[in-house]
Amino acid sequence: MNHPLFPRNNKHAASPQGAVASFIRAKKLTGSLKNKVTLVFDGYPPPDFSGSEENTDMIFSRRISADEKIKKIIEESANRKNIIVVSDDREISFMVKSLGARCIGIEEFIGAKEKRKAADKELLKPELSYSEMHKINQELRKIWLK
């Protein structure tokens, strides 16, 4: 793929699974670089698959379903509350929550960064109108610049 989101220098970008990993990294969807991402796919790895990279593990479920693999990963985790599963599947969401982890939808995962930016901009907006600020400034000038 020759696309800005899926750079050619990524050794996995040619596969659909690699494209997902590249997209997540390119859009910095995990927030901090310290956050580890585990992508779980159904089936077996492609023939040219050579492992994981840059805080991104790609796991193929092989003979079991990806849902079962996710369940095993959560069950074996010592810190279940730190796990966030991204899926729009209701059954997965229920299972993940029942195991003590968190589940968010795909739109929420992709849009979370944009929502944070919008919220930050909203915090920076003044609560006063321009005319109110102007009046306050005039009053303060009268007091301070006597």
Q: Which amino acid is at 89?
A: D
For residue 145, give every residue at least 6 positions away whose Cβ sits within 8 Å of its Cβ, in sequence order, or none: none
pLDDT band at residue 14 using 50, 70 and 90 as cut-offs: low
Q: What is the pTM of this model?
A: 0.65
Residue spans of the domains in the chain: they are 1-62, 64-104, 109-146
Mean pLDDT of the chain: 81
**C-alpha span between 59 and 20 (Å, rounded):** 13
Higher-scoring residue by pLDDT: 6, 84 = 84
Distances (CA, A) of 98 to 37, 81, 94, 101, 107: 21, 11, 6, 8, 22
pLDDT band of 33, cuts 50, 70, 90: confident
